[in-house]
C-alpha cells in the first residue's frame, strides 16, 4: 500500500471520527491542530486505524505517535508498503 | 429504529461514526421520552456514555448524562457533588470491573481473612446502593464482575477460596442476592456478556493501561447495548410480541408444496431438530407474557395443519392471531397489531425471507425485523437483541397477560362457530358449584362488594357475615367456579338463599361479567333448585332491586322461568315453584357438586 493511499484512508478516518469534512491531514498535523483531538479521541483514532488497516499497535507505538506522519510510518511498518 | 444499531451490529462502524449517528437521531422528530442517567465509573466512561446515548435514542429515550470523575464511583455516591445533587437522576449505572475489587485473595491469606475481605467488599457496594436509594430513590443498574484474565491456580482457581475465579464468583453471587431482594436493582451481567464476547478480547489490558478503560474499546458497543436494554425495559420500552412467518421459519420447507408430512420438524432429522428447538424457544416466551401471532403466505388450512403436526411444539392455541392468506405481509402485520390493540413497533417480525423483512420494515416505521440468518442461528440472533429484557416481572403481570390471551382466544373461537351452543361446547367448560367453603370466604366477600352489573340485590357483605351465613342452617349458599379450555376463571358466581317457612328467598345472586353468556347462571339455578328440593323447599322467591348499574339483569328472573308477583320502582319480586316439572337449564357446562 502506497503512502498516499494510507494518507487518503487516514484522512477519511479522521473526518469520520471528528465529523468534520474540512480536515486535510499533513505529515505534521498533530493534536494541537485539531480542537477535539484529546487523549480520549486518540483511543478512538487508534481503534479505527487498527480496524481499517487490520493492524495492532502496542503501548510504546501508540505513545510514540506524535503526529500524523509518525502514524503513517507505523502503519507502513505493519502493513509493509 | 436504526437497523445499524440492532444485533448483529458492526461495532467498529458505530464507534467511528458515532457523531454522525447522533446527528441523524437529533434530526428526526421522534417522540422521545427524556431521562437523566448518572454513570458512576470505576474506569474511563467517555465512550460508554457516547455509545449508550445512541442505543438509548434507538429505543426512543433521549438521555442527558452525568458522569462521575474518573474512578470516583464510590466517593461520588457517598459524598455527592453539588452538580450531582441537583441533577435529579432517573437511573444510575455503576460501571465497575474486576480491577476495582479492593483486594483479591493471596495464597498466604487464611480462610478467615478471605471471608473478611469478601464481607468488606460486599459492604462497600451495599453502602453505595443504600445511599443512592435513600438520596434519589431511583433504579440502579450495577455491573457485576467479569472473570479474571489469568488464573494463578489454573483450574483450581474456581474451587479454592484463594482463587480469583472463586472469589469473584462469590462476589457475583452476593450481587445476585441483593438483586433478588431489591426490585429496583438490576445487574448488568458483564460476567456473561464478556464470556459471550470472548474474555481475552474483552479484557485486553492494552485499553486499561493506555486509557484506563475497563474493557476493550471495541467491546463498548456490546456493553452499551446491554445497558440500554436494561434501561429501556425499566422505562417500559420493551417489545410485547412476536409476529411469525411459518415456512422455513417455524418449520423447514414449504408446507403448501411439500405437504404436512414432508416438512422438516421433530426429532427424526437434524434439520427437524433445529426447528423444534426454535419452536420451544418461541413458546417459552408465552410464559413471560409475550404475545404470539402468525403472518404467513399460505392457505389457512395448510398453516393450521403445520401447527397441528404431531411434532409441532407450538399449537394453534398458542397464537392470538393467525393470519395465513395471500395478502402482503405488512398489511397482515398492521391488522394483527390493530386487533391486539398494540403499537406496530412493539411487535417483532420474524421471517427467514429478507424480501418480506424488507417490505415490513420499509412500510411500517419502527418495527424490528431481525436478520435471523440460518435456521441454527435463529435463536441467538433474536435472543441477543434483548427485545424482552426482563426487569420488573410480577406474578400479576403474568396472570393479567394470560387472562388477556384467554379472552382473545375465546372471542376468536366464537367468531368461527355458526351456532352459539356449538361455541359453548367447544370451550369445554367445567364448573364446581358448592356451598361456601372456608378457602373462598375472602374472594366471596370481595365479589359481593365489587360486583355491580350482574347483581340482583347489590347486597354487600363483610367476610364475617359471609362466614356466619355459611354455617347457618337457615341459609343455602352456593359459589360457582368455572374453568374452560383456556384457563381457570376462579370463583365467578354466588347465590345466598334465606329459608323462611318453606320458601327460599334469594338475598343475593351475582355473577362476574367475565363469564357472561356462558350459561353459568343456568348451572347455578339448576343446583339451587336441586338443593331446595332435597330439603323440601317448594318455592324460590327472587328479588330485583334496580340500581344505576344493574339494568342488565332487570328481566333475569323472567328469562329464567320465574313469574312476576309484584313490581314497582324500587323492586320486582319473582317466584318459581319447585316441582318435578323443572328440567335442568344448563346444557354446556359439566358440573361438579357436593355428594
- What topology does CATH give the domain A3-79? 1.10.1200
Per the CB < 8 A criterion, the answer to whether B481 and B524 are in contact is no
Please report how the helices B46-58 and A39-53 are oriented relative to each other, as an axis angle in degrees rounded to 10: 70
Longest dimension (CA), chain B: 96
pLDDT in tens, B152-200: 999 999 999 999 999 999 999 999 999 998 889 999 999 999 999 999 9
Residue B393 pLDDT grade (very low, low, confident, very high; cuts 50, 70, 90):
low
Bridge partners of B178?
Answer: none
Comparing C-alpha atoms, which of B177, B293, B180, B195 is closest to residue B246? B293
Name the minimum distance, in Å, from the CA of A2 to any CA of chain B: 23
**Best interface-test mutation with B: which of A9, A14, A16, A18 has the largest number of B CBs within 10 A?**
A16
Enumerate the residues of chain B whose CB falls inside 8 A of the CB of residue A59: 206, 209-210
Q: Which of B15, B46, B211 sits opposite A48 (nearest CB)?
A: B15
Residue B489 pLDDT grade (very low, low, confident, very high; cuts 50, 70, 90):
confident
Enumerate the residues of chain B whose CB falls inside 8 A of the CB of residue A17: 16, 19
At which residue does the C-alpha cell 401471532 appear? B293
Enumerate the residues of chain A whose CB falls inside 8 A of the CB of residue B210: 43, 46, 59, 62
Distance of CA A11 to CAs A7, B188, B210, Å? 6, 37, 23
Sign of CA dihedral B360, B309, B302, B413: negative
Enumerate the residues of chain B whose CB falls inside 8 A of the CB of residue A47: 12, 15-16, 217-218
- What does DSSP assign to residue B544? E
d(C-alpha B442, C-alpha B467), whole Å: 10
Vertex B253 angle, CA B248 and B258, to 5° = 150
pLDDT of residue B401: 57
Bridge partners of B66?
Answer: B38
Bridge partners of B63?
Answer: B35
Name the pTM for this structure. 0.71
**Residue of higher predicted confidence among B426 and B95:** B95
**Best interface-test mutation with A: which of B4, B9, B15, B16 has the largest number of A CBs within 10 A?**
B16
- Chain A touched by B217 (CB under 8 Å): yes
* B397 has pLDDT over 70: no
Query: Quick one: cell of B504?
Result: 327460599
For chain B, give the percent of residues with pLDDT over 70.
96
Per the CB < 8 A criterion, the answer to whether A59 and B204 are in contact is no
d(C-alpha B69, C-alpha B76), whole Å: 8
pLDDT of residue A74: 93
pLDDT of residue B447: 87
Are A51 and B213 an interchain contact pair (Cβ–Cβ within 8 Å)?
Answer: no
Model ipTM? 0.90
Sign of CA dihedral B260, B262, B268, B271: negative
pLDDT in tens, B184-194: 999 999 999 99
Are B211 and A51 an interchain contact pair (Cβ–Cβ within 8 Å)?
Answer: no
**Residue of higher predicted confidence among B439 and A50:** A50
Please report how the helices B111-136 and B164-181 are oriented relative to each other, as an axis angle in degrees rounded to 10: 30
Residue A17 pLDDT grade (very low, low, confident, very high; cuts 50, 70, 90):
very high
d(C-alpha B375, C-alpha B356), whole Å: 16
pLDDT in tens, B369-385: 999 999 999 999 999 99
Domain-wise residue ranges, chain A: 3-79
Per the CB < 8 A criterion, the answer to whether B71 and B41 are in contact is yes
Map residue B483 onto helix, strand or coil.
Answer: strand
- Chain A touched by B47 (CB under 8 Å): yes
For domain B423-593, give the CATH number: 3.40.630.30
Contacts of B386 (CB under 8 A, 6+ apart): B7, B225, B226, B229
Comparing C-alpha atoms, which of B171, B124, B174, B127 is closest to residue B147? B171
Per the CB < 8 A criterion, the answer to whether B16 and A48 are in contact is yes
For domain B3-234, give the CATH number: 3.40.50.1110
Comparing C-alpha atoms, which of B536, B571, B570 is closest to residue B557? B571
What's the mean pLDDT in B467-489? Answer: 91
Name the minimum distance, in Å, from the CA of A51 to any CA of chain B: 7
- Chain A touched by B559 (CB under 8 Å): no
For chain B, give the percent of residues with pLDDT over 90.
75
Q: Establish whether domains B241-396 and B423-593 are of one fold.
A: no
How many other CB atoms sit within 10 Å of the CB of residue A3? 14
pLDDT in tens, B99-154: 999 999 999 999 999 999 999 999 999 999 999 999 999 999 999 999 999 999 99
d(C-alpha B378, C-alpha B229), whole Å: 20
Q: Are strands B563-567 and B572-577 parallel, antiparallel or unpaired?
A: antiparallel
- What topology does CATH give the domain B241-396? Rossmann fold (3.40.50)
Query: Quick one: cell of B553?
Result: 339483569
Helix (H) or strand (E) holding B295: strand B291-297
pLDDT in tens, B326-351: 889 999 999 999 888 888 999 999 99
d(C-alpha B420, C-alpha B519), whole Å: 11
Enumerate the residues of chain B whose CB falls inside 8 A of the CB of residue A46: 210
Map residue B442 onto helix, strand or coil.
Answer: helix
Q: For residue B82, count CB atoms less than 10 angstroms from its CB and return exposed for 0-12, middle for 13-18, buried for 19 or more.
A: exposed
What's the mean pLDDT in B5-21? Answer: 94
Q: Which of A17, A42, A59 sits opposite B16 (nearest CB)?
A: A17
The number of C-alpha atoms within 13 Å of B196 and in the hemisphere containing its C-beta is 12
Distance of CA B352 to CAs B5, B249, B320, B373, Å? 20, 6, 21, 7
pLDDT in tens, B534-583: 999 999 999 999 988 788 899 999 999 999 999 999 999 999 999 888 89
d(C-alpha A3, C-alpha B342), whole Å: 57
Domain-wise residue ranges, chain B: 3-234, 241-396, 423-593
**Distinct helix (H) and strand (E) counts, chain A:** 4, 0
pLDDT in tens, B254-273: 998 888 999 999 998 999 99
Residue B400 pLDDT grade (very low, low, confident, very high; cuts 50, 70, 90):
very low
Bridge partners of B293?
Answer: B243, B321
pLDDT in tens, B103-116: 999 999 999 999 99
pLDDT in tens, A21-57: 999 999 999 999 998 898 889 999 999 999 999 999 9
Name the minimum distance, in Å, from the CA of B58 to any CA of chain A: 20
d(C-alpha B6, C-alpha B154), whole Å: 37
Per the CB < 8 A criterion, the answer to whether B498 and B504 are in contact is yes
Name the minimum distance, in Å, from the CA of A39 to any CA of chain B: 8
Amino acid at each position: 500500500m502506497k503512502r498516499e493511499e494510507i494518507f487518503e484512508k487516514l484522512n477519511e478516518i479522521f473526518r469520520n471520527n471528528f465529523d468534520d469534512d474540512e480536515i486535510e491531514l499533513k505529515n505534521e498535523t498533530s493534536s494541537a491542530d485539531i480542537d477535539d483531538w484529546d487523549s480520549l479521541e486518540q483511543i478512538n483514532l487508534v481503534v479505527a486505524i487498527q480496524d481499517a488497516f487490520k493492524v495492532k499497535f502496542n503501548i510504546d507505538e501508540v505513545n510514540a505517535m506524535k503526529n500524523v506522519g509518525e502514524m503513517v510510518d507505523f502503519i507502513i511498518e505493519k502493513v509493509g508498503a | 429504529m436504526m437497523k445499524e444499531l440492532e444485533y448483529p451490529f458492526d461495532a467498529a462502524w458505530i464507534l467511528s461514526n458515532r457523531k454522525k449517528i447522533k446527528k441523524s437521531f437529533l434530526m428526526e422528530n421522534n417522540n422521545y421520552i427524556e431521562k437523566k442517567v448518572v454513570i458512576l465509573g470505576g474506569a474511563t466512561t467517555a465512550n460508554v456514555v457516547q455509545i449508550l446515548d445512541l442505543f438509548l435514542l434507538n429505543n426512543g429515550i433521549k438521555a442527558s448524562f452525568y458522569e462521575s470523575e474518573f474512578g470516583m464511583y464510590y466517593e461520588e455516591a457517598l459524598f455527592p457533588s453539588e452538580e450531582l445533587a441537583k441533577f435529579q437522576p432517573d437511573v444510575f449505572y455503576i460501571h465497575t470491573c474486576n480491577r476495582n475489587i479492593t483486594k483479591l485473595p493471596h495464597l498466604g491469606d487464611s480462610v478467615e481473612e478471605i471471608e473478611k475481605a469478601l464481607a468488606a467488599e460486599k459492604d462497600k457496594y451495599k453502602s453505595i446502593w443504600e445511599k443512592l436509594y435513600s438520596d434519589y430513590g431511583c433504579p440502579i443498574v450495577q455491573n457485576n464482575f467479569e472473570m479474571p484474565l489469568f488464573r494463578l491456580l489454573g483450574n483450581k482457581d474456581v474451587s479454592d477460596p484463594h482463587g480469583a475465579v472463586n472469589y469473584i464468583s462469590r462476589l457475583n453471587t452476593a450481587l445476585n442476592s441483593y438483586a433478588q431482594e431489591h426490585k429496583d436493582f438490576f445487574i448488568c451481567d458483564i460476567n456473561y456478556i464478556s464470556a459471550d464476547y470472548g474474555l481475552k478480547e474483552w479484557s485486553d489490558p492494552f485499553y486499561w493501561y493506555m486509557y484506563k478503560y475497563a474493557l476493550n474499546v471495541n467491546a463498548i458497543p456490546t456493553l452499551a447495548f446491554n445497558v440500554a436494554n436494561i434501561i429501556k425495559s425499566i422505562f417500559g420500552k420493551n417489545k410485547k410480541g412476536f409476529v411469525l412467518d411459518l415456512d422455513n421459519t417455524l418449520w423447514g420447507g414449504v408446507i403448501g408444496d411439500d405437504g404436512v408430512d414432508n416438512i422438516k420438524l421433530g426429532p427424526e432429522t437434524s434439520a427437524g431438530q433445529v426447528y423444534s428447538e426454535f419452536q420451544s424457544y418461541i413458546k417459552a416466551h408465552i410464559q413471560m407474557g409475550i404475545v404470539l401471532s402468525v403472518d404467513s403466505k399460505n392457505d389457512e388450512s395448510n398453516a393450521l395443519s403445520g401447527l397441528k403436526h404431531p411434532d409441532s411444539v407450538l399449537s394453534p392455541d398458542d397464537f392470538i392471531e393467525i393470519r395465513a392468506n395471500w395478502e402482503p405481509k405488512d398489511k397482515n402485520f398492521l391488522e394483527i397489531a390493530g386487533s391486539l390493540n398494540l403499537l406496530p413497533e412493539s411487535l417483532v417480525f420474524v421471517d427467514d425471507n429478507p424480501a418480506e423483512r424488507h417490505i415490513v420494515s420499509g412500510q411500517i416505521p419502527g418495527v424490528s425485523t431481525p436478520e435471523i440468518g440460518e435456521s441454527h442461528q435463529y435463536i441467538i440472533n433474536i435472543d441477543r437483541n434483548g427485545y424482552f429484557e426482563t426487569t420488573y416481572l410480577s406474578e400479576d403481570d403474568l396472570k393479567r397477560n394470560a387472562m388477556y390471551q384467554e379472552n382473545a382466544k375465546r372471542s376468536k373461537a366464537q367468531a368461527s362457530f355458526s351456532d352459539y351452543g356449538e361455541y359453548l361446547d367447544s370451550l369445554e367448560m367445567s364448573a364446581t358449584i358448592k356451598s361456601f367453603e372456608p378457602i373462598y370466604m375472602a374472594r366471596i366477600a370481595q365479589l359481593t362488594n365489587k360486583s355491580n352489573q350482574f347483581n340482583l340485590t347489590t347486597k354487600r357483605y363483610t367476610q364475617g357475615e359471609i362466614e356466619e351465613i355459611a354455617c347457618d342452617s337457615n341459609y343455602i349458599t352456593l359459589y360457582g367456579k368455572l374453568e374452560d379450555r383456556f384457563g381457570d376463571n376462579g370463583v365467578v358466581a354466588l347465590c345466598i338463599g334465606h329459608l323462611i317457612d318453606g320458601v327460599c328467598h334469594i338475598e343475593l345472586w351475582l355473577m362476574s361479567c367475565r363469564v357472561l353468556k356462558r350459561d353459568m347462571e343456568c348451572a347455578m339455578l339448576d343446583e339451587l333448585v336441586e338443593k331446595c328440593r332435597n330439603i323440601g323447599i317448594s318455592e324460590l322467591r327472587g328479588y330485583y332491586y334496580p340500581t344505576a348499574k344493574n339494568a342488565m339483569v332487570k328481566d333475569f328472573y323472567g328469562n329464567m322461568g320465574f313469574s312476576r308477583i309484584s313490581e314497582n320502582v324500587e323492586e320486582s319480586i319473582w317466584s318459581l315453584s319447585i316441582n318435578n316439572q323443572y328440567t335442568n337449564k344448563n346444557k354446556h357446562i359439566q358440573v361438579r357438586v357436593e355428594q
